[in-house]
Structure 1
Amino acid sequence: MTTSRDPGLQPERTRLAWRRTALAMTVVTTLTVRLALHRGPAEAASAVLAVLGWATAIALCWRPATGTSRTDGRILAMVGLTTAGIALLGTVLVLRGL
């Protein structure tokens, strides 16, 4: 008797985790752009980097037709680094009192 793997709710949990990550990245990127509009060139450079990182992560991870994400090891590593960078940027924004 062979049993097939029952994924259960794992695909849904993964999809929801990617959506939470994308939402958090969107919020930090939006706040960075807002900061750049009212401050100097250093903030503008960070806003450009945040927007590029956000757009790259969304483009690589999101499949609009299925609402799922890609799970290639290199893609996940790049998205992880981008997410960590944007999280660091969010921390800096909070510490600066945005």
Structure 2
Amino acid sequence: MTRDPGLQPERTRLAWRRTLLAFTAVAVLEVRLALSGHVFDAVLAGIAVVGWLGTLLVNWRRATGVGPRRPERWSFPLTALAAVGLALLGVLHVLRGLR
């Protein structure tokens, strides 16, 4: 079976776009929750926005297809750390009793 090198970069680019879209949705929801006026929600929103910005800055070039073919060494660990952090924020909301 012959491998088509044109499809893999496109699938990878689309996967990075989905990742950034999911992080954007979480950050927007966190900011929306922060508008309730509670300090705890504002701190969580700040953490979510910082995680989103870090992921966006690191992965934007790869998601748009203008970046290097091979990712930087710290791209995957930073994205995984941000994903785990956003998951923990969700757990904190559930434990606190999301309104």
Decide: shared fold, TM above 0.5: yes
Aligned position for 2:18: 20
- Unaligned segments of structure 2, at least 5 residues: none
Question: What TM-score do the two structures reach when normalised by structure 2?
Answer: 0.77
What is the CA–CA distance in structure 1 between the aligned matches of 2:25 and 2:92, rounded to whole Å?
A: 14
2:79 matched to 1:82?
Answer: no
1:67 maps to amino acid? T
What is the CA–CA distance in structure 1 between the aligned matches of 2:42 and 2:11, rounded to whole Å?
A: 35
Q: Which runs of 4+ in 1 moved over 6 A?
A: none
What is the CA–CA distance in structure 2 between the aligned matches of 1:55 and 1:30, rounded to whole Å?
A: 12
Aligned position for 1:29: 27
Question: What is the root-mean-square deviation in Å for CA atoms of aligned residues?
Answer: 2.3
What is the CA–CA distance in structure 1 between the aligned matches of 2:52 and 2:13, rounded to whole Å?
A: 17
What is the CA–CA distance in structure 1 between the aligned matches of 2:12 and 2:87, rounded to whole Å?
A: 20
What is the CA–CA distance in structure 1 between the aligned matches of 2:82 and 2:34, rounded to whole Å?
A: 19
Aligned position for 2:48: 50
What is the CA–CA distance in structure 2 between the aligned matches of 1:88 and 1:20, rounded to whole Å?
A: 20
How many angstroms does 1:6 deviate by? 4.6
Question: What TM-score do the two structures reach when normalised by structure 1?
Answer: 0.78
Number of equivalenced pairs: 92
